[in-house]
Amino acid sequence: MTALPRLSPTLRSVAALAEAGLISPETADALAPVGQRYAVAVTPEIAAALHAGAGDGVARQFLPDARELVTLPEELPDPIGDAPHSPVPGIVHRYADRLLLKLVSTCAVYCRFCFRREMVGPGKEMLSAEETEAALAYIADHPAIWEVILTGGDPLVLSARRLREIKARLDAIPHVGALRIHTRVPVVAPERITGELVEALGGRLPVHILIHANHADEFTPAARAAVARLVDAGIPLFGQSVLLRGVNDSVPALTDLFRTMVSLRIKPHYLHHGDLAPGTAHFRLPLAEGMALMRALRGPLSGLALPTYMLDIPGGYGKVPVTADYLTPDGQGGWWVTDPQGRRHAYRDTGESHN
Interface with ligand SF4 by CB under 6 A: which range of 147-155, 171-179, 244-252, 315-323?
147-155
- Give residues with Cβ within 8 angstroms of 181, minimum separation 6: 149, 150, 151, 155, 156, 201, 207, 208, 209, 210
CB of 118 vs ligand SF4, minimal distance in Å: 10
CB of 351 vs ligand SF4, minimal distance in Å: 18
- Catalytic position from the list 60, 167, 192, 319: 319
Tell whether 107 is in a known binding site: yes
Tell whether 111 is in a known binding site: yes
Say whether 110 is catalytic: no
Residue 111 binds to ligand SF4 (criterion: CB under 6 A)? yes
Query: Would strands 327-329 and 207-212 be described as parallel, antiparallel, or unpaired?
Result: unpaired
Say whether 319 is catalytic: yes
CA 56 to chain centroid, in Å, comes to: 18
Integer Cα distance of 183 and 108 in angstroms: 10
- Give residues with Cβ within 8 angstroms of 14, minimum separation 6: 23, 28, 31, 32, 34, 35, 40, 64
Residue 120 binds to ligand SF4 (criterion: CB under 6 A)? yes
**Residues within the interface to ligand PLP (CB under 6 A):** 80, 92, 94-95, 98, 100, 149, 319
Q: What are 42's strand-pairing partners?
A: 11
Say whether 95 is catalytic: yes
Say whether 317 is catalytic: no
CB-CB contact of 41 with 10 (8 Å): yes
CA distances from 74 to 9, 77, 222, 315 (A): 37, 10, 39, 11
- Catalytic position from the list 60, 116, 164, 180: 116
Tell whether 17 is in a known binding site: no
Which residue, 38 or 258, is less far from ligand SF4 as judged by CB? 38
Phi-psi region of 49 (alpha: psi -120 to 50; beta: other; left: phi over 0): alpha
Residue 114 binds to ligand SF4 (criterion: CB under 6 A)? yes
| Binding at 94: pick from ligand PLP, ligand SF4, none (beta carbon under 5-8 Å per type) | ligand PLP
Say whether 98 is catalytic: yes
Annotated binding site for [4Fe-4S] cluster: 107, 111, 114
Annotated binding site: 107, 111, 114
Task: Please list the active-site residues.
Answer: 94-95, 98, 107, 111, 114, 116, 275, 312, 319
